[in-house]
Amino acid sequence: MEKNTNKNPNHQEDKQRDLQINKSDGTNKFLTTNQGVKINDDNNSLKAGERGPSLLEDFILREKITHFDHERIPERIVHARGSGAHGYFEVTHPIPELTKAGFLQETGQRTPVFTRFSTVAGSRGSTDLARDVRGFSVKFYTQEGIYDLVGNNVPVFFIQDASKFPDLIHAVKPEPHNEIPQAASAHDTFWDFISLMPESMHMVMWAMSDRAIPRSYRMMEGFGVHTFRLINAQHESHFVKFHWKPKLGTHAVVWDEAQKISGKNPDFHREDLWEAIDTGNYPEWELGVQVIPEADEHKYEFDLLDPTKLVPEELVPVTIIGKMVLDRNPDNFFAETEQIAFHPGHVVPGIDFTNDPLLQGRLFSYTDTQLSRLGSPNFHEIPINRSISPTHNNQRDGHMRQEINTGRVSYHPNSLGGGCPYQAMIAEGGFASFNERVDAHKVRERSASFSDHFSQATLFFNSQTETEQNHIVKALRFELGKVATTAIRVRMLGLLNQVDAGLAAKVAQGLGLEVPASPEKPMNHGVGADAEPGKHEPTLTAQTVLSSDALSMLKNPTVTPTIASRKVAFVCADGVSEASVKSLKAALLKNDAKACIIAPHQGFIATDEGGALPVDFSFLNSSSVLFDAVFIPGGQGLNSISEDRDAMEFINDAYKHCKVIGADGEGVDILSAPLFSAKGGALQDGGIVISDTAGDAAFAQEFISAMSAHRYWERENML
Ligand code: HEM
């Protein structure tokens, strides 16, 4: 019998060993056809004479073109745009009392993972920096089979019932008549739908916050969203919410910056993840759980089965149980990142579902969609999807079947095959669903306990700092301002007014509209004779928690501040001080950060000291939105920068986006323009770091420490 044990820490490498058999490398090999025939000429097709027609018999040409013709597969219906990496999950705090899942039993146990981050709305080639929810999917290759935690970077969802998911996605995708806009929610159909779905209001607050424009995949939280169950060896259940907490802290860019990045480098997040792993700055998250005993199911003012609600950490704290480290880029994007197939229904013994009606619909959707995306019921055999725990069953055949099942038996029960493969008892690791009692009428209904659509939206808004609230106001003004239909804008103001009157008033002012006295009815709800079947009028429930610091990014600074893997643009020109450049560059390198020299032209720039420095990018093909901070070194030649409009726009943008700007020596003069007012002016803030001496070591330390704070948001009030 195969033993289901996961106690060997070396399992971290099991998936890499498993993938190895499918890897192919053409180095020092002959070029061949797919049939293994060596090719003598790959540059010319077979013709009847040099200038004659091509011949049908050219099997080499036909094979090559045919394969090319079929290279594309359908993109994911949602989350088409994404990037992923390999890594491992390590248990730091085992929870055998809560779950029998083998991979969570002992400190130090490692399980290989593949994690894919994504946007939702855009197509495969769309920008990384769209205002959008990010997918956060982790495939655990455990010794007891595959476990997928398919979550998002937001802990709640727009809708409560799976039946609305196709409507939500149709509304947010480009409008069907003209396929506009790509990867954007700022259009009529999205807000038309949202304005009629008050249950979406909590998630809308998150989507309009800076959570929807992360600085990096590495700086996002992740959430399982739904309440799941943990089942222990005694078959006892506890409700659980999953949280991923990034080691680098949770950080965002600003909306103006996001839009510019979308033009300058639409692969910004993809490149960031790739480069970080490539340079050994392995991204890391802690996995936390909020655990709720079965007996407390009805203890709260919200329903644990309602995916538009979170459990405030003030009510149930997050316990950290492990960490995930991503330490290996894929070898091949298509084979791994594109072909990976996640499914919230991939669970192992010890983890189970709840009756959350959104989760229940998802449990159907993923395999169904993957059948058409990957083209065959055998997609579990694709190397990246293959379980490292052995699979044996009586499923057979289908397109592209790889497995060669031996023997004459493909049914159960059988006597001809000795009853094999045989069922596993629970004690042998056999999966058994939680024995939940269900005794109910069959109804097309939504529970009345799902009816408070606004209280947690208000909780989220109230939990934000003033800066974060202002960003939400601006995002709503931007998005609704792009909605052409005034009635939709007004309907949204009516809903926002239910969340926070001040918020609605500010958005209304930006739109030049009045907040309606009451929300428009009917929304999707109603009572009495006009009621839609099974719907409840939105209600408000008294809340225990009115503000939760855990929901704000700015109230949660990075635990261990670091600038590792951050990028600094050095604004240079001929005549730059080499000492100044080299001094800060060395200090940054020591802290695992990167320095890039940007100058009016590429090639080399002459230094004040008579040397030359290689230029990474010119102001033409770079932008400060691609960097975390800007440094203007000293040097006699630097004055020319103030006359270079591209260079000044570079610095202006960094200032506007509240980034750290440092200058030393003559570089300080550039920052003395009224906008920056570096020399003690009223506009100076902690993010402006200056030193009169070029190459000063104390300056480098101050600059690095300022950078670790990410941004200087108070500057927004000065602009
Ligand atoms: C009823 C509601 C939902 C349905 C029907 C649904 C359906 C889908 C479908 C069809 C895909 C494409 C899968 C593929 O082609 O491999 C997908 C991907 C995804 N969904 Fe959902 N989804 C729903 C709700 C959610 C929710 C609530 C979350 C977050 C908790 C979520 C997270 C994701 C993620 C992260 C992916 C991308 C997985 C990857 O990286 O490949 N979905 N979903």
The mean-pLDDT minimum among 10-24, 189-203, 436-450, 519-533 falls in 519-533
Tell me the C-alpha distance between 710 and 693, whole Å.
25
Structure confidence by residue, pLDDT tens digits, 535-582: 678 889 999 999 999 999 999 988 889 999 999 999 999 999 999 999
Q: How confident is the model at residue 83 (pLDDT cuts 50, 70, 90)?
A: very high
Establish whether the linkage from the previous residue to 421 is cis, with ω within 30° of 0.
yes
Tell me the C-alpha distance between 388 and 101, whole Å.
16
The residue-averaged pLDDT of 148-173 equals 98
Mutate to test the pocket of ligand 1, among 75, 79, 168, 353 (most ligand atoms within 8 A of CB): 79
Q: Select the more confidently predicted residue: 194 or 532.
A: 194
The mean-pLDDT minimum among 450-454, 466-470, 559-563 falls in 559-563
pLDDT for the residue 687: 92
CA of 153 to the centre of ligand 1 (A): 13
pLDDT for the residue 535: 63
Q: Which residues line ligand 1 (CB under 6 A)?
A: 76-79, 82, 116, 118, 135, 137, 150-152, 157, 162, 165, 225, 340-342, 358, 361-362, 365-366, 369-370, 373
For atom 1 of ligand 1, the residue with the nearest CA is: 162
pLDDT for the residue 322: 98
372 pLDDT above the threshold of 90: yes
For residue 447, give the amino acid letter. S
Q: How confident is the model at residue 674 (pLDDT cuts 50, 70, 90)?
A: low
* Residues in Cβ contact with 436 at an 8 Å cutoff, skipping those fewer than 6 apart: 237, 355
The mean-pLDDT minimum among 89-93, 228-232, 530-534 falls in 530-534
The residue-averaged pLDDT of 228-240 equals 98
Q: How confident is the model at residue 4 (pLDDT cuts 50, 70, 90)?
A: very low
* Residues in Cβ contact with 560 at an 8 Å cutoff, skipping those fewer than 6 apart: 247
Q: How confident is the model at residue 686 (pLDDT cuts 50, 70, 90)?
A: confident
Tell me the C-alpha distance between 694 and 697, whole Å.
9
**Under a CB-based contact definition with an 8 Å cutoff, are residues 150 and 342 in contact?**
yes
For atom 28 of ligand 1, the residue with the nearest CA is: 151
- Name the residue among 462, 686, 429, 709 with its Cα closest to residue 566: 709
Q: Which atom of ligand 1 is nearest to the CA of 224?
A: 30
| CA distances for 32 relative to 42, 60, 331, angstroms | 10, 9, 21
What's the chain's average pLDDT? 94
**Under a CB-based contact definition with an 8 Å cutoff, are residues 587 and 650 in contact?**
no
pLDDT for the residue 555: 96
Mutate to test the pocket of ligand 1, among 78, 269, 343, 359 (most ligand atoms within 8 A of CB): 78
The residue-averaged pLDDT of 656-662 equals 95
CA of 15 to the centre of ligand 1 (A): 24
Q: Which atom of ligand 1 is nearest to the CA of 166?
A: 5
pLDDT for the residue 5: 45
Structure-token match 């609230």, residue found? 469
Q: Which atom of ligand 1 is nearest to the CA of 79?
A: 37
* 380 Cα distance to chain centroid: 24
Q: Which atom of ligand 1 is nearest to the CA of 341?
A: 16
For residue 536, give the amino acid letter. H
For residue 21, give the amino acid letter. I
Give SS3 for 362: helix
522 pLDDT above the threshold of 70: no
Q: How confident is the model at residue 635 (pLDDT cuts 50, 70, 90)?
A: very high
Scanning 382-512, the segments in alpha helix (DSSP H) are: 455-463, 466-481, 486-499, 501-511
**Under a CB-based contact definition with an 8 Å cutoff, are residues 312 and 85 in contact?**
no
CA of 147 to the centre of ligand 1 (A): 15
Tell me the C-alpha distance between 312 and 319, whole Å.
13
Structure confidence by residue, pLDDT tens digits, 249-275: 999 999 999 999 999 999 999 999 999
* Residues in Cβ contact with 574 at an 8 Å cutoff, skipping those fewer than 6 apart: 599, 605, 606, 637, 640
The residue-averaged pLDDT of 474-480 equals 98
CA of 134 to the centre of ligand 1 (A): 11
Q: How confident is the model at residue 358 (pLDDT cuts 50, 70, 90)?
A: very high
The percent helix, strand, coil of the chain (3-state, each to 5) is 30, 15, 50
The residue-averaged pLDDT of 656-669 equals 93
The mean-pLDDT minimum among 159-173, 388-402, 667-681 falls in 667-681
Q: How far apart are the first and last CA of the chain?
A: 70
pLDDT for the residue 637: 82
H or E segment at 184?
none
Give SS3 for 618: strand
Q: Which atom of ligand 1 is nearest to the CA of 223?
A: 30
For atom 24 of ligand 1, the residue with the nearest CA is: 362
Mutate to test the pocket of ligand 1, among 362, 367, 374, 385 (most ligand atoms within 8 A of CB): 362
Mutate to test the pocket of ligand 1, among 150, 172, 221 (most ligand atoms within 8 A of CB): 150
Report angle CA 475, 479, 482 to the nearest 5 degrees.
145
- Name the residue among 292, 298, 293, 347 with its Cα closest to residue 318: 292
H or E segment at 257?
helix 255-264
Q: How many CB atoms lie within 10 A of CB 672?
A: 16
Percent of the chain with pLDDT over 90: 89
pLDDT for the residue 677: 62
H or E segment at 57?
none
Q: Are strands 134-142 and 110-119 parallel, antiparallel or unpaired?
A: antiparallel
The dihedral of CA 546, 548, 549, 554: what is its sign?
negative
Structure-token match 């029960």, residue found? 413
For atom 6 of ligand 1, the residue with the nearest CA is: 362
Structure-token match 């993957």, residue found? 370
**Catalytic residues, which ones?**
79, 152
Q: Which atom of ligand 1 is nearest to the CA of 135?
A: 35
| CA distances for 372 relative to 76, 125, 340, 366, 590, angstroms | 10, 20, 14, 10, 49
Structure confidence by residue, pLDDT tens digits, 390-415: 999 999 999 999 999 999 999 999 99
Report angle CA 345, 348, 350 to the nearest 5 degrees.
115
| CA distances for 446 relative to 160, 250, 303, angstroms | 9, 35, 12
CA of 382 to the centre of ligand 1 (A): 20
pLDDT for the residue 424: 97
527 pLDDT above the threshold of 50: no
CA of 167 to the centre of ligand 1 (A): 14
Structure confidence by residue, pLDDT tens digits, 175-226: 999 999 999 999 999 999 999 999 999 999 999 999 999 999 999 999 999 9
Q: How confident is the model at residue 683 (pLDDT cuts 50, 70, 90)?
A: low
CA of 78 to the centre of ligand 1 (A): 7
CA of 362 to the centre of ligand 1 (A): 7
The residue-averaged pLDDT of 478-487 equals 98
The mean-pLDDT minimum among 107-111, 264-268, 398-402, 713-717 falls in 713-717
Q: Token pair for residue 22?
A: 């499918």
CA of 193 to the centre of ligand 1 (A): 19
278 pLDDT above the threshold of 80: yes
Burial of 243 (0-12, 13-18, 19+ CB in 10 A): buried
For atom 32 of ligand 1, the residue with the nearest CA is: 151
Phi, psi of 661 (to 5 degrees): -125, 125
Tell me the C-alpha distance between 657 and 628, whole Å.
10
For atom 4 of ligand 1, the residue with the nearest CA is: 362
Q: How confident is the model at residue 375 (pLDDT cuts 50, 70, 90)?
A: very high
pTM, entire model = 0.96
The residue-averaged pLDDT of 485-499 equals 97
- Name the residue among 79, 117, 89, 122 with its Cα closest to residue 11: 89
Q: In which region does residue 525 sit, left (phi positive, over 0), alpha (psi from -120 to 50) or beta (all else)?
A: beta
pLDDT for the residue 679: 57
